Amino acid sequence: MALIQLEGISKIYKDGQTNLSALYKVDLNIEKGEMVAVMGPSGAGKSTLLNILGCMDNFSEGEYILDENKISQIPSYELWKVRNKYIGFVFQYFALIKEYSIVDNVSLPLMYANIPYRKRKTLSAETLRNVGLGDIINKKPSQLSGGQQQRVAIARAIVNNPEIILADEPTGSLDQNTGEDIMNLLVNINKTYNKTVIIVTHDPKVSSYCNRVLTLKDGRIVADT
């Protein structure tokens, strides 16, 4: 069975008397270890799809099965446990807490998983070393370049060893060379640790790093290559 299964997933928003369809009857299987790009014009439903995959948004119709777990059957107050176990998030603008050191930023998912403090610090420092930042773990985000901050965000996403990394425009605020470094890091995580990586992007260069490209239009998958 695929790691991710979407069966007839629709997402409907109400705007007054009008129903707006962000996704319409999407069927999708993603296997463990795939690296997938999600592309399409603005308003195509890319971010909605990513939010549903990350259990950050509900769906109006259909079923989402994550590692044989039917998401519709999990109470909303329990979904954070699913997110913390299965999913790491990487955002375009890093979403780091500026008052925290980078090692404390990385340790946040472990805190939510009730990992003891000393072990959190050890695991976070080790993960920062794995993304090339082991010598600056006590710096604050404001002391880092954009590329370094995105590496911190990636470390935070992988520190609790989730099955899936969801990245929303991870190179969108970076220059070309730094963006290439970040994509090479994500490829390495995908290949070395067999993690499923799903990336929303407008950039064909980013999608070229992936072995599968989904194209959305008007809430539907119109191409899967």
- pLDDT tens per residue across span 165-216: 999 999 999 999 999 999 999 999 999 999 999 999 999 999 999 999 999 9
CB 158 within 8 A of CB 88: yes
pLDDT of 17: 74
The CA-to-CA distance between both ends of the chain, in Å, stands at 20
**Best CA proximity match to 156, nearest among 88, 87, 58, 78:** 88
| CATH code, residues 33-59+75-224 | 3.40.50.300
* Rounded Cα–Cα distance for residues 63 and 52 (Å): 11
At 221 the three-state DSSP class reads strand
**Best CA proximity match to 201, nearest among 88, 79, 50, 95:** 50
* pLDDT bucket at 140, cuts 50 / 70 / 90: very high
For the chain, domain boundaries? 33-59+75-224
pLDDT of 219: 95
* Rounded Cα–Cα distance for residues 192 and 19 (Å): 44
* pLDDT bucket at 10, cuts 50 / 70 / 90: very high
**Best CA proximity match to 146, nearest among 154, 157, 134:** 154
* pLDDT bucket at 92, cuts 50 / 70 / 90: confident
* Rounded Cα–Cα distance for residues 53 and 140 (Å): 31
* Rounded Cα–Cα distance for residues 191 and 136 (Å): 26
pLDDT of 14: 79
β-bridge pairing 220-224 and 212-217: antiparallel
Residues 101-126: tens digit of each pLDDT: 999 999 999 998 889 999 999 999 99
Residues in contact with 64: Cβ distance below 8 Å, sequence separation at least 6, in sequence order: 4, 5, 6, 7, 9, 52, 53, 70, 71, 72
CB 24 within 8 A of CB 218: yes
Structure-block tokens of residue 113: 């998983």
Structure-block tokens of residue 166: 């969801």
Look over the chain and give the mean of its residue pLDDT values, rounded to a whole number: 94
pLDDT of 18: 78
Amino acid letter, 69:
N
